[in-house]
Amino acid sequence: MPASDAARLSELVIGGSRVNWAQIGIIFSGFGTHLIGDVVLRIDESLPPGLHAWALSNSDPIVSAIDGIPTSAVEHASIPETRHSQKFALEALSIDHVVVNTPDLERTSRALHDATGSELKRIRDAGNGMRQGFHRLGSIIVEIVSAPNVPAGDAALWGFVLNVADVNAVAAYLGPDVLSPPKPAVQKNRLIATFRGSVGLGVPLALMSDVLVDDV
């Protein structure tokens, strides 16, 4: 069981090239870190593109994997080096949610609960055999997704969604070849836009913001 019931997500580890992330306004420090809200996004360019691992605080320190997801424990989250740049800065406010793919929603949900104490909040039937289960780790929602096309085996980190002040403004700056036109999200009164695969992030990434007065 976890050391406390206040487990939170402290870090996400991605692979690939930081150059591609710079194109969308995420500039990593010399140590390969970028702070988004209270979560550190860390890039390891020796890893292939993708979302590879996470680090949790206030979780079971002996856990090295949660249903196959590489997991480490951190006692005290450090503030990464800030890197200033004249380039476009995305200025994400926070990470809204992280998506985990699994062939067995209940199995992965139990594993996450056992390691962190985080309760399954609800399960949503998204249609066509897709189901979504929701947990919370600190300020971050963990969305566990099962679907017929998810291969058998372990669960895996898939992608994440960032909160920004105005997704329409970001979309207008980056253009439709980089970011899809914003559309209504599943969440009420919110808009969402997704980065194109051609950008080369290697991680499914979307932006969300509240519907503003000018959007109505």
Angle (CA) 173-194-31 rounded to 5° is 80
Rounded Cα distance between 114 and 191, Å, is: 34
In a domain, 2, yes or no: no
In a domain, 3, yes or no: no
The structure tokens 């890197």 sit at 83
Kindly report the CATH number assigned to the domain that includes residue 99: 3.10.180.10
Rounded Cα distance between 125 and 141, Å, is: 17
In a domain, 1, yes or no: no
Residues 46-89 have pLDDT tens digits of: 999 999 999 999 888 889 999 999 999 987 655 555 555 557 88
Phi, then psi, of 196 in degrees rounded to 5: -70, 145
Rounded Cα distance between 179 and 173, Å, is: 9
Number of domains in the chain: 1
pLDDT average, residue stretch 198-206: 97
Least confident of 118-122, 162-166, 185-189, 204-208: 185-189
- Determine the structural domain holding residue 23 and report its residue range: 8-215
Rounded Cα distance between 154 and 176, Å, is: 35
